[in-house]
Structure 1
Amino acid sequence: MEPSWPRAAFAEVDHLYGDFDSYVGEGLRLDAETAETLRAKPLTG
């Protein structure tokens, strides 16, 4: 994975939504309960 593209993606999220939590709620339209459920799950590949 090219390290610059994740940085650019997070920078765009911050630019458009102010922070990642706002992106989750406003951009992805996830309610707080769903977002918390997803945060509690480990990422696996």
Structure 2
Amino acid sequence: MLKKFSKALHSSLSWSNNIALIMVTTFILTKDMKYCLLASSVL
């Protein structure tokens, strides 16, 4: 499911939007707000 989801997004979204998707996905997978904020501050 995740593979199909990411493939569809990869073909329809720009690179910068993919970065936002990665941060959101990371937040969902880790369920850790601090980690998400850290990732966004690095980028």
TM-score by length of 2: 0.34
Which has the larger Rg?
1
| Between structures 1 and 2, the one with greater helix share | 2
Name the TM-score, length of structure 1 as normaliser. Answer: 0.34
